[in-house]
A and B are shown apart, each in its own frame.
Chain A
């Protein structure tokens, strides 16, 4: 069962921005998502919730409320004024039925639907780990966090999580052979 989580609203060769259909409905950091036709896979990197109109900043409204739920209930308009978006770093695509873990020729079109991948799909896609190189080189300040989160999440979809982790560690070690400090930082994030 595929779960549709959003729609592409902004797109570049290396990443795309998707808007959630539900407020706070973004997939978790490091989760694997996919767009339809063309099939492009990506890893959730940055999740943002902000006002739709940037000229109207969000104000604190709960001073008199007893709980956070009360704030939402008393201000039903909030769900319409706020929106959640998430940025996805492209990790591969399917070309003529073959999975490629490198950048697609064209990024997803705006308004493409974005789906969260099923555990089977995650296990299949992460049976090879060249995507880690794309993520490590994604040029975001928290690339290490994304890689760590991605490996942690993917491990739960595999039949043999420990074997998967060992594979991931070796791949990381090859990619970061010249930077042991960074490698060590990531390894500690995925250490079970």
Chain B
């Protein structure tokens, strides 16, 4: 007995999704669990999917990836909202026997059903391995298109797979799939790691740096404020130490220290000890330290007068000598600056130069040393030891070194453009407490502000790590290509992180609902769409995936080119 009528096929729940509107042989890509079908929508607001009777709303979470099989296209999207609907608006006023499972079961999924809102973001190639990659979705799937949870293949198609040389940073929410990042794209623009204190910024940064070191896509220079990245770091939650870059990669990583004693106390040997000579300090550095040293504008600008008088190399030493000899007043008169301001400058600079890493004259050009290491494809970690807590020292040293390194890079890049040399190797500079360098008052003056704005013109990009992104100059923040945001709860910080991002309203709710550990919202340049990542565990299992600190194929090729090319 056959019935030609198949109208109630869908309602019977035994419909075969393989044949729904599309020839089954067209579809090669494997799909996840069927969820429901598209019932309405628009490009601006996304589509509404009515869940199948067997699918409970409780199984689905906001932020889950979904694929939608349209007639000609397959769409990839994110669940932005979940709702409950009913076919009869009077249902909410009708007393129903909630204790009768038979009735409730019959109503569930039919008259009373779940809906999910899906924002289609990409169109996927229908056939796996198709040359044509995912593209931004400019349309929506037709009525009655089927929705599925995204499969591992879908996620790999969108985010790239580990086999293709991408770096596995974690998994999407509620999936065991590996979520990968294209590090090549990542280091092309500046990036930012944000989050409240204790949300796993350091672990995420360490993971990203490990990826960068392993891939050999770029060199990195890390201003390691709290000595966490070089040899070892602390997991304060578990009370254990974790391996730093030097332990994982050996010779690929060089560690510099400002505080030799501190390193020795920790039983570590460092490759180089950094000394900063008075001759290395420039009036611009003083200007930058104004806030941390509590100097007035007049006092800071007196440094320029001093340089004019004593010359670039000697101004600070001569000035401090003059102060010691008690001839500050004469000097003030001669320079025509306020004597009080000059005295303030003398006091502050005198105190500052008492730091152990300051020497009267240093012939060693630390920046040149670092560049040498970086050019060899090594990665440099500068540990600040006990000076890490001294904000002024951190700002001064990182700014001073970066300025010199940047200058060399600009020269190298310009001669490469003129055909006289080879392209400098891409460099990622990692700074912590970024709002101190990049706040609106100083961002225009510090080298970091310049690097952030210049983007990748000179192959130098920044990785800024900060817990108060609202303190960072908005112009600089807008240049941060890829953002990794752990939990933030301050409204202004959330606004700052999401500034200039499309769909920030939907992301805002995601961001404030992140778990306080091991979760981050990643979006921007290196990813086709925003994604919440459960960050990979940084521990023994992770160390084993590091390939013995050897060189990647790309790195080997680069070295061969350098030797023979």
Which residues of A sit under 8 angstroms from B107, Cβ to Cβ? 173, 180, 183-184, 187
Expressed in whole angstroms, the Cα–Cα distance for A167 and B9 within the complex equals 10
Interface residues of A in 169-192 (CB under 8 A from B): 169-174, 176-181, 183-184, 187-188, 191-192
Which residues of B sit under 8 angstroms from A187, Cβ to Cβ? 102-103, 106-107
Which residues of B sit under 8 angstroms from A167, Cβ to Cβ? 12
Which residues of A sit under 8 angstroms from B336, Cβ to Cβ? none
Known interface pairs A98-B2, A183-B111; A173-B8 also in contact (CB < 8 Å): no
For the complex, is A101 an interface residue (Cβ under 8 Å from B)? yes
B103-126 contact mask (Cβ, 8 Å, vs A): 1 or 0: 101110011000000000000000
Contact B110 A129 (CB under 8 A): no
Known interface pairs A166-B106, A187-B106, A188-B100; A179-B88 also in contact (CB < 8 Å): yes
Expressed in whole angstroms, the Cα–Cα distance for A129 and B3 within the complex equals 10
Contact A173 B5 (CB under 8 A): no
Which residues of B sit under 8 angstroms from A130, Cβ to Cβ? 3, 5, 7-8
For the complex, is A127 an interface residue (Cβ under 8 Å from B)? yes
Expressed in whole angstroms, the Cα–Cα distance for A178 and B87 within the complex equals 6
Contact B87 A177 (CB under 8 A): yes
For the complex, is A99 an interface residue (Cβ under 8 Å from B)? yes
Contact A173 B106 (CB under 8 A): yes
Q: Is the interface of A mostly helix, strand, loop or mixed?
A: helix
B86 and chain A: residue at smallest CB distance = A180
Which residues of A sit under 8 angstroms from B97, Cβ to Cβ? 184, 188
Which residues of B sit under 8 angstroms from A174, Cβ to Cβ? 8, 11, 110
Contact A170 B90 (CB under 8 A): no
B1-33 contact mask (Cβ, 8 Å, vs A): 1 or 0: 111110110011100000000000000000000
Which residues of A sit under 8 angstroms from B94, Cβ to Cβ? 180-181, 184
For the complex, is A128 an interface residue (Cβ under 8 Å from B)? yes
Which residues of B sit under 8 angstroms from A179, Cβ to Cβ? 88, 90
Which residues of A sit under 8 angstroms from B105, Cβ to Cβ? 166, 169
Query: What total of chain A residues lie within 8 Å of the partner, measured CB to CB?
Result: 30
Chain A min CB distance to B36 (Å): 15
Contact of A128 among B3, B102, B110, B111 (CB under 8 A): B3
Known interface pairs A178-B87, A187-B103, A188-B103; A173-B3 also in contact (CB < 8 Å): no
Which residues of B sit under 8 angstroms from A181, Cβ to Cβ? 90, 94
Expressed in whole angstroms, the Cα–Cα distance for A178 and B90 within the complex equals 8
Contact B102 A170 (CB under 8 A): no
B92 and chain A: residue at smallest CB distance = A180
Contact B111 A177 (CB under 8 A): yes
For the complex, is B368 an interface residue (Cβ under 8 Å from A)? no
For the complex, is B385 an interface residue (Cβ under 8 Å from A)? no
Interface range on chain B (Cβ under 8 Å from partner): 20 to 34
Contact B5 A101 (CB under 8 A): yes
Which residues of B sit under 8 angstroms from A62, Cβ to Cβ? none
For the complex, is A57 an interface residue (Cβ under 8 Å from B)? no
Expressed in whole angstroms, the Cα–Cα distance for A127 and B5 within the complex equals 12
Which residues of B sit under 8 angstroms from A172, Cβ to Cβ? 106
Contact A101 B3 (CB under 8 A): yes
B6 and chain A: residue at smallest CB distance = A128
Contact A124 B90 (CB under 8 A): no
Contact B5 A180 (CB under 8 A): no
Chain B min CB distance to A175 (Å): 9
Query: Total A-B residue pairs with C-beta atoms closer than 8 Å?
Result: 83
B104 and chain A: residue at smallest CB distance = A187
Chain B min CB distance to A8 (Å): 24
Contact A169 B5 (CB under 8 A): no
Which residues of B sit under 8 angstroms from A169, Cβ to Cβ? 102, 105-106, 110
Expressed in whole angstroms, the Cα–Cα distance for A187 and B110 within the complex equals 13
Contact B5 A178 (CB under 8 A): no
Which residues of B sit under 8 angstroms from A183, Cβ to Cβ? 107, 111
Chain B min CB distance to A125 (Å): 8
For the complex, is B364 an interface residue (Cβ under 8 Å from A)? no
Expressed in whole angstroms, the Cα–Cα distance for A183 and B107 within the complex equals 9
Known interface pairs A129-B8, A130-B8, A171-B12; A177-B102 also in contact (CB < 8 Å): no
Which residues of B sit under 8 angstroms from A192, Cβ to Cβ? 102
Chain A min CB distance to B99 (Å): 11
For the complex, is B96 an interface residue (Cβ under 8 Å from A)? yes
Which residues of A sit under 8 angstroms from B102, Cβ to Cβ? 165, 169, 187, 191-192
Expressed in whole angstroms, the Cα–Cα distance for A170 and B103 within the complex equals 11
Contact of A124 among B1, B91, B110 (CB under 8 A): B1
Known interface pairs A183-B111, A184-B103; A128-B5 also in contact (CB < 8 Å): yes
Which residues of B sit under 8 angstroms from A191, Cβ to Cβ? 100, 102-103
Contact B1 A180 (CB under 8 A): no
Contact B96 A184 (CB under 8 A): yes
Contact B96 A180 (CB under 8 A): yes
Which residues of A sit under 8 angstroms from B7, Cβ to Cβ? 130
Expressed in whole angstroms, the Cα–Cα distance for A139 and B175 within the complex equals 53
Expressed in whole angstroms, the Cα–Cα distance for A63 and B1 within the complex equals 55
Expressed in whole angstroms, the Cα–Cα distance for A190 and B110 within the complex equals 17
Expressed in whole angstroms, the Cα–Cα distance for A171 and B106 within the complex equals 10
Which residues of A sit under 8 angstroms from B100, Cβ to Cβ? 188, 191
Expressed in whole angstroms, the Cα–Cα distance for A169 and B100 within the complex equals 14
Contact of A171 among B2, B8, B88 (CB under 8 A): B8
Contact B2 A177 (CB under 8 A): no
Which residues of B sit under 8 angstroms from A178, Cβ to Cβ? 87-88
For the complex, is B53 an interface residue (Cβ under 8 Å from A)? yes
B107 and chain A: residue at smallest CB distance = A173
Which residues of A sit under 8 angstroms from B13, Cβ to Cβ? 170
Which residues of B sit under 8 angstroms from A129, Cβ to Cβ? 8
Which residues of A sit under 8 angstroms from B88, Cβ to Cβ? 177-180
Chain A min CB distance to B84 (Å): 14
Contact of B3 among A99, A171, A184 (CB under 8 A): A99
Contact of B110 among A170, A184, A188 (CB under 8 A): A170
Interface residues of B in 210-250 (CB under 8 A from A): none
Chain A min CB distance to B286 (Å): 76
A–B complex contacts, Cβ < 8 Å, 5 sampled: A124-B1, A128-B3, A128-B5, A177-B111, A179-B88
9 cross-chain pairs, A with B, having the tightest CB-CB distances, nearest first: A173-B110, A169-B106, A177-B87, A174-B11, A191-B102, A180-B91, A180-B88, A187-B103, A128-B3
A173-B111, A180-B88 known; 19 new pairs, CB 8 Å cut-off, are: A98-B4, A99-B2, A101-B5, A125-B1, A129-B8, A169-B102, A170-B13, A171-B11, A172-B106, A177-B111, A178-B88, A180-B96, A181-B94, A183-B107, A187-B102, A187-B107, A188-B100, A188-B103, A191-B100
* Interface residues of A, Cβ cutoff 8 Å to B: 98-99, 101, 124-125, 127-130, 165-167, 169-174, 176-181, 183-184, 187-188, 191-192
